[in-house]
Amino acid sequence: MKQADVVVIGGSAAGIPAAITARRHYPEKSVLLIRKEKQVLIPCGIPYIFGTVGTPEKNLIPDGVLQNNGIELVVDEATDLLPAEKQVVLASGESVAYDKLILATGSSPVELPIPGFSKKNVYTIKKDVQYLQSLLEALKDVKNLVILGCGFIGIEFADECKKNRDLNVTIVETLDQCLQIVFGGGACKCCQEIEDYLKQKGIDIATGSKIVEILGDEAIKAVKLSNGEEIPADALIVGVGVTPNVDLAAKAGLALTKGGIVVDTTMRTSDPNIFACGDCATKFSFFTGKSSTLKLASIATTEARIAGANLYEISRKNPGVLGVFSTALGDLTVAIAGMSEKGAQQCGFDVVTAEAEAINRHPAGMPGASKMWVKLIFNKVNGELLGGAVRGGPSAGELINTISACIQNRMRADDLAVFQIGTHPAVTASPIAYQLVNVAEMALKNMKN
């Protein structure tokens, strides 16, 4: 029987940082990570396998990150969990004894109850190297590709699959606009520009429609929409919805809900010696404290660092999920942190918004100059920042992280208006026109009005 002080089950966005954090906080403890995959994919890089990167092998997390931190790796599947004995049973028949355990078992794509979903060439987005390689090979013989879901995953897959391929690509989306589920109605400039970009690339977008049937004999030939339209399809990629992997937790008798393994703010489960983090664990909103369905790799890593630090001494607490998203198509980057205007209003907040657009260099003739648009959403009652959206060049990705930091620290419009910034002609907007500060000033004016 193997034995370690700390055992982590799962080797992706939650498992790896959980193990590394445990090692850093408790260097005297032995740490062992169990995963069933021989190779681990970078989750957010999966769409780029089909275009920019080219193969699954170029989108892997190296095992060296574990070795360099003194973490033992066991490639095997955990099939049972015995909390009373503090043991994990593996598919090979071996058992691993632990003192503290972290479950980072992730999630799996949902299989939708659509007639014909089991037909050949209907793919979900599994974090599996061989499965994605089979999809990559299948695309060589595909002329008509349909993608279900116009969120970040859907648009990235559409853009990447179109590269270097003579494909007819159609995205089907239930809502009225792509990315609307994230941006809501208050930041539709981002949604519209993304749609314009996709259409310029020759990608069709069918919004306000559902796939009600997958047509064909053994393999897919077309999809039927709720409006009666039929779209030819040699392959369908489904990019909507995941379900938490909780089989091990269920066998162990841990408390569960529909959202996953029940955890408290320290990431501890109903068993004091077992923690859970990432997609398999329940989430709650930073803003309302209510249950949240958000599942992101960035959230998983944050929860992992909380769980790993708290194993033997509680030092961190989870403040809840904000939701920070960004994507880039060509030279266009769009991003959002926290609540959209519509989302904030639906949660009962009285909001004030403001927006500004300025060149992200100064003077405007500097190399790399492009327009950057920023919108911020504030609580009218106390001026607290609730959310923000950015549209522009690559630097929008880091600006949204700055906005996220402001939200997490519950900064108010007045705080942002006097936010001390570093600017340089080659890398930022002018300090006079700096969008984050100017938007805050305009929001204060709107609050007074």
Q: Cβ(358)–Cβ(435) under 8 Å?
A: yes
Of the residues 309, 340, 359, the one at which a domain ends? 309
Q: Is 254 in the same domain as 138?
A: no
Residue 290, domain member (yes or no): yes
User: Side chain identity at 343, as an amino acid letter?
Assistant: G
Q: Cβ(150)–Cβ(175) under 8 Å?
A: yes
Q: Is 305 in the same domain as 254?
A: yes
pLDDT for the residue 185: 63
Domain encompassing residue 194: 111-240
Quick count: other Cβ atoms within 10 Å of Cβ 345? 16
In the sheet with 230-232, reading across from the earlier edge strand, the strands are 211-215, 222-225, 230-232
Q: Is 262 in the same domain as 232?
A: no
User: Side chain identity at 134, as an amino acid letter?
Assistant: S
Residue 219, domain member (yes or no): yes
Residue 319, domain member (yes or no): no
As beta bridge partners, residue 5 has none
Residue 180, domain member (yes or no): yes
Which distant-in-sequence residues (6+ apart) come within 8 Å of 138 by Cβ? 121, 123, 235
The string of DSSP letters for 181-221 reads HHHTTTTHHHHHHHHHHHHHTT-EEEES--EEEEESSSB--
Q: Is 117 in the same domain as 228?
A: yes
Of the residues 285, 309, 333, the one at which a domain ends? 309
Whole-model pTM: value is 0.95
Q: Is 371 in the same domain as 430?
A: yes
Q: Is 101 in the same domain as 39?
A: yes
Q: Is 429 in the same domain as 352?
A: yes
Question: What is the spatial distance between Cα 259 and Cα 174, in angstroms, rounded to a whole number?
Answer: 23
Question: What is the spatial distance between Cα 260 and Cα 310, in angstroms, rounded to a whole number?
Answer: 20
pLDDT for the residue 189: 79
Question: What is the spatial distance between Cα 183 and Cα 342, in angstroms, rounded to a whole number?
Answer: 8
Of the residues 210, 240, 270, the one at which a domain ends? 240
Question: What is the spatial distance between Cα 446 and Cα 417, in angstroms, rounded to a whole number?
Answer: 14
Q: Is 361 in the same domain as 292?
A: no
Q: What is the CATH number of the domain that holds 211?
A: 3.50.50.60
Residue 315, domain member (yes or no): no
Residue 98, domain member (yes or no): yes
Which of 40, 118, 25, 37 is CA-nearest to residue 300?
A: 40
∠ at Cα 146 (143, 150), nearest 5°?
145
For 305, the token pair is: 């660092």
Question: What is the spatial distance between Cα 331 and Cα 36, in angstroms, rounded to a whole number?
Answer: 38
Q: Is 178 in the same domain as 258?
A: no
Q: Is 16 in the same domain as 96?
A: yes
Question: What is the spatial distance between Cα 290 and Cα 157, in angstroms, rounded to a whole number?
Answer: 31
> How many domains does the chain fold into?
3
Residue 316, domain member (yes or no): no
Residue 226, domain member (yes or no): yes
Question: What is the spatial distance between Cα 120 and Cα 236, in angstroms, rounded to a whole number?
Answer: 9
Q: Is 33 in the same domain as 118?
A: no
Which distant-in-sequence residues (6+ apart) come within 8 Å of 405 by Cβ? none
Which of 154, 313, 121, 157 is CA-nearest to residue 235?
A: 121
Which regions of the chain are under pLDDT 70? 185-187
Residue-wise pLDDT for 107-119, tens only, equals 999 999 999 999 9
Q: Is 44 in the same domain as 95?
A: yes
Q: Where are the alpha helices (DSSP H) in 42-151?
A: 64-67, 129-138
